Amino acid sequence: MTRIYIKDLANHIGQEVTIKGWVDIRRDQGKLIFFDFRDVTGKVQGVILPNAKSAHEVGSKLRPEWVVEVKGKVNQRPEKNAQKEKQNGTIELEILEIVILSEAVETPFELGIDVNVDTHLDLLPFTLRSEKSKAIFKVQATIARAFREYFGGEGFTEFQAPKLIGDDAEGGANSFDVTYFKHIAHLAQSPQLYKQIMVGVFERVFAIGNVYRAEKHSTTRHLNEYTSMDMEMGFIDSFEEIMNIENGYLVYLSEILNKECSADFALLKASIPVVPAKIPRMSLRDAQVLITKETGKDCTKEPDLEPEHERWLCTYAQEKLGSDFIFITNFPTAKRPFYTFRNKQDPTYTDGFDLLFRGVEITTGAQRIHNYNDLVASMKEKKLDPEKFSYYLQAFKYGMPPHGGFGLGLERLTAKLLGIDNVKEATLFPRDINRIDNLLSK
Amino acid sequence: MTRIYIKDLANHIGQEVTIKGWVDIRRDQGKLIFFDFRDVTGKVQGVILPNAKSAHEVGSKLRPEWVVEVKGKVNQRPEKNAQKEKQNGTIELEILEIVILSEAVETPFELGIDVNVDTHLDLLPFTLRSEKSKAIFKVQATIARAFREYFGGEGFTEFQAPKLIGDDAEGGANSFDVTYFKHIAHLAQSPQLYKQIMVGVFERVFAIGNVYRAEKHSTTRHLNEYTSMDMEMGFIDSFEEIMNIENGYLVYLSEILNKECSADFALLKASIPVVPAKIPRMSLRDAQVLITKETGKDCTKEPDLEPEHERWLCTYAQEKLGSDFIFITNFPTAKRPFYTFRNKQDPTYTDGFDLLFRGVEITTGAQRIHNYNDLVASMKEKKLDPEKFSYYLQAFKYGMPPHGGFGLGLERLTAKLLGIDNVKEATLFPRDINRIDNLLSK
* A202-256 per-position pLDDT tens digit: 999 999 999 999 988 888 888 999 999 999 999 999 999 999 999 999 999 999 9
- Fold assignment, B6-102: OB fold (Dihydrolipoamide Acetyltransferase, E2P) (2.40.50)
Closest CA to B329 of B222, B267, B238, B434: B238
* pLDDT value at residue A174: 87
Per residue in B33-49, pLDDT tens?
999 999 999 999 999 99
The answer to whether the beta carbons of residues A107 and B398 sit under 8 Å apart is yes
A123 interaction partners in chain B (CB closer than 8 Å): 394
User: Residue A157 and residue B138: Cβ atoms within 8 Å?
Assistant: yes
* pLDDT value at residue B216: 87
Instruction: Enter the pTM of the model.
Output: 0.97
Distances (CA, A) of A374 to A348, A369, A405, B319, B384: 14, 7, 18, 60, 56
Same fold, B6-102 and B121-439: no
How far, in Å, CA of A32 to CA of A46, rounded? 10
Q: Does B154 touch chain A (CB under 8 A)?
A: no
* pLDDT value at residue B417: 98
**Ranges in chain A, pLDDT < 50:** none
Chain A and chain B share a number of CB contacts under 8 A equal to: 269
Question: To 5 degrees, how large is the angle CA A185–CA A189–CA A193?
Answer: 90
Q: Does A3 touch chain B (CB under 8 A)?
A: yes
Mean pLDDT for all residues in chain A? 95
* pLDDT value at residue A218: 82
- Closest partner residue to A210 (CB to CB) among B158, B163, B440 is B163
DSSP string, B210-247: EEE------SSS--SEEEEEEEEEES-SSTHHHHHHHH
Q: Does A194 touch chain B (CB under 8 A)?
A: yes
* pLDDT value at residue B171: 54
- A110: closest chain B residue by CA: B398
The answer to whether the beta carbons of residues B180 and B200 sit under 8 Å apart is no
List the domain boundaries for chain A.
6-102, 121-439
* pLDDT value at residue A168: 63
In CATH, the number for domain A121-439 is 3.30.930.10
User: Residue A438 and residue B40: Cβ atoms within 8 Å?
Assistant: no
How far, in Å, CA of B207 to CA of B229, rounded? 6
- A56 φψ region: left (φ > 0), alpha (ψ -120 to 50), beta (else): alpha
User: Residue B401 and residue A158: Cβ atoms within 8 Å?
Assistant: no
User: Residue B129 and residue A401: Cβ atoms within 8 Å?
Assistant: no
How do B16-29 and B67-76 pair as beta strands? Answer: antiparallel
* pLDDT value at residue A376: 98
Q: Does B195 touch chain A (CB under 8 A)?
A: no
Q: What part of A 340-369 touches B (C-beta under 8 Å)?
A: none
Per residue in B52-110, pLDDT tens?
999 999 999 999 999 999 999 999 999 998 999 899 999 999 999 999 999 999 999 99
How far, in Å, CA of B133 to CA of B119, rounded? 14
Per-residue pLDDT of chain B (442 residues; tens, 9 = 90+): 799 999 999 999 999 999 999 999 999 999 999 999 999 999 999 999 999 999 999 999 999 999 999 999 999 999 998 999 899 999 999 999 999 999 999 999 999 999 999 999 999 999 999 999 999 999 999 999 999 999 999 999 999 999 999 876 655 668 999 999 999 999 999 999 999 999 999 999 999 999 999 988 888 888 999 999 999 999 999 999 999 999 999 999 999 999 999 999 999 999 999 999 999 999 999 999 999 999 999 999 999 999 999 999 999 999 999 999 999 999 999 999 999 999 999 999 999 999 999 999 999 999 999 999 999 999 999 999 999 999 999 999 999 999 999 999 999 999 999 999 999 999 999 999 999 999 887 6
